[in-house]
Structures are given as structure tokens and as C-alpha cells.
Amino acid sequence: MTLGGGFGWLSRRYGLTADNLRRADVVTADGRLVHASEDENSDLFWGLRGGGNFGVVTSFEFDLHEVGPEVLSGLLVRPFDDTAEVMAAYREFVADAPDQITAWMVIRHAPPLYRSFRRCGTARRCSSSPSITTVL
């Protein structure tokens, strides 16, 4: 995840996982263990953060960011046929969402995972609605 960029739950506020990498320990092709950071082996560090394969990384050191005091997460599953409606609601929601909120939209055509659930329209109206009522 890190060496490929790393889009995560805090990305809207703090950037990609690679942006928060401070140091990596790397075993190079000739078997040496080297430390890579902005101050030490900076070319290697730059290459690692860009997704390059320059050795085997054995450890990472990251910036930490305080979150909370509450952290919320959720999943809303909708039928594939609702894609246009869901995309419109997603665009509306994320346009004004603060950077503390990360929302992902995944469009996947797969067999349904639900028996019944309440349609809630936009994400704002979903917050007070029960989500999935029966999960198979």
C-alpha cells in the first residue's frame, strides 16, 4: 500500500500514505540494509515514495495524526441499477464535505448482498435512516 501511493481513510486531510512516510529500512539488491529518509539516501527515499521497486522494505516509519475523539465508518450498498442516482448523491455530498470526511464510491456489478433495505436518496438523508435491514 505505501509504495503504491496508498489511498486511505485520512487521505483527504493528510494526503497519500507515501506522503506521510518519514523513513524506510531497505534491503538492496546487493544485500545491504540501508536507511532511507529525506536526510539519508534521499534518492532512494524519493524513489520509494514514487512507487519504484528499489529493494525489499523491511520497516516503515510514518507521521502520526491525531483523530477522534470519535471515529465513524460505514458502508452503504446499493443495487447496480441505482448507479446514476448514487453518483449524483455522492457528488453532492463530497462537494461540501470537510476534509475530515473521506468518502469512497465503488461501482461494482456483483450479485446482491442484501434482501431489503431502505432507499435514502442523498447521503445527508441517510445519516438518520436505518441502513441495511437484512443481510444475507
Per-residue pLDDT 10s for the chain (136 aa) are 777 778 777 888 888 888 999 999 999 999 999 999 999 999 999 998 887 778 999 999 999 999 888 877 777 778 888 889 989 988 998 888 888 888 888 887 776 655 555 555 555 555 544 444 444 4
Residue span of the structural domain in which 50 resides: 11-62
As a whole number of angstroms, the distance between CA 38 and CA 45 comes to 7
Smallest CA-to-CA distance from 77 within 106, 50, 51 is with: 106
Specify the number of domains making up the chain: 2
Do 131 and 84 share a structural domain? yes
Q: Write down the pTM of the prediction.
A: 0.62
Residues in the chain: 136
Residue 30 is assigned to a structural domain of this protein: yes
Q: Name every residue whose Cβ is closer than 8 Å to that of residue 133 and which is 6 or more positions away in sequence.
A: 114, 115, 116, 117, 118
* Whole-Å CA distances, 124 to 61, 91, 100, 115: 37, 12, 16, 23
Domain presence at residue 75: no
**Which of 19, 36, 62 delimits the end of a domain?**
62
